[in-house]
Copies of this chain bind each other. A is one copy, B any other.
Amino acid sequence: MIGGGLRRHLRFIGRRVAALLAGGATAGLVLGVVEIGFAYSLQAFLAALGVLSLDAASLPSWLPRGGMRTALSLVAFFGVTRGLLQAVQNFLQSVTMEEAQLLQRSRILRWALHGESASSSRVASMFNQRAMVTASTIYSVQGLVVQLTVGALLAAALLAISPLVTLAAAAAMLLFAPLLLWADRRIKDVSADSIAHWDRTNSRLLMSIRNLLLLQICGMQAREEALAQDSLRSYVRKMYRFYTLTSMKMAAPQIAGPLLGCLIAVVSQRRGLMAPAALISYFYLFQRLIQAFTSVNQNMSALIFGLPHYRELFGWWSLAEEDPGSG
């Protein structure tokens, strides 16, 4: 799909960014486990308070048993760990993006100053927009890794509670696949078009400024401006399409989730597929799975949108055959 082999891509993104990506993904994975632990602890706590009619069997076997004191320690432990990990993951993700931008911009700087000659509009476009979108593409890969693993963990927990119900729910979710695949294909087209429009706008603007005096003498500013404004507007129109598609992709599972959840609850109760006490864990984990699914979906959109930018910068780097530099 992108070409060039994993090794080349690792050299392209740089050792530092790769390490940060791995660090952020690890923090995200641990966070996923802690989130599940936190959810069960809260249930144990509410059961200890006498609010939830939960029998011990509906809590996983690895969770320590005991009264209120045990439940409170669990909530405190998972709560504090979760808060810390969220902050760490947030920090690592932001820093990954910043470092990815730094490396690419630093390479663009060196290339622009040591190469034969470079068009300043091309450099400006690469230095600003291309480096930024490439960095956020790398960022969405990290999001994908984390959310897919958290999703797999949640799905495993759901399968453990009730294999039959989970497989039926998975089959129902699969009905959305064609819609999502169609949207992803459209996003790919929109992305390629938006690059073209952005570049055109940027190069027109910088070229006009360089030749401003000439344009003024010939009285062509108005025409030049109209052309630049047009391509700016075409770019925004493409972005509108992109947002329409991603919002639609976001809405589908969010709407289907609670409906499917209720359906599961009612059918399970009528047919006796699950004990009522197990149902509350199931319901909660199912909603979290839908969240993870939505997140995977959004990261996928961002990835598909960013890939042409990434590919272009990767292609430039491959051609320039720079040494990996500060990476």
**Interfacial residues, chain A to chain B (CB-CB below 8 A):** 38, 45-46, 49-53, 68, 72, 75-76, 78-80, 82-84, 86-88, 90-91, 94-95, 98-99, 101-102, 105-106, 109-110, 112-114, 117-118, 120, 123-124, 127-129, 202, 205-206, 208-210, 212-213, 215, 221, 224-225, 228-229, 232-233, 236, 239-240, 243-244, 246-248, 250-251, 254-259, 262, 265-266, 269, 276-277, 279-280, 283
Contact = CB atoms under 8 A, between A and B. Distances in A.
Contacts of A265: 45, 49
Contact of A82 (B86, B212, B247, B254): B254
A105 B228 CA distance: 10
B243 A91 contact: yes
Nearest to A249: B87
Copies of chain A in the complex: 2
B225 A87 contact: no
Nearest to A105: B232
12 contacts: A51-B52, A51-B53, A52-B52, A76-B259, A90-B243, A91-B247, A98-B243, A109-B229, A114-B221, A120-B120, A120-B206, A123-B206
Interface centre among A72, A87, A206, A257 (most CB of B within 10 A): A87
A236 B276 contact: no
A79 B257 contact: yes
A69 B24 CA distance: 45
A224 B128 contact: no
Contacts of A212: 113, 117-118
A276 B120 contact: no
Contacts of A232: 102, 105-106, 109
> What are the 6 closest A-B residue pairs judged by CB atoms, nearest first?
A79-B258, A83-B255, A87-B251, A83-B254, A91-B247, A128-B128
Contacts of A258: 38, 75-76, 78-80, 82-83
A135 B88 CA distance: 27
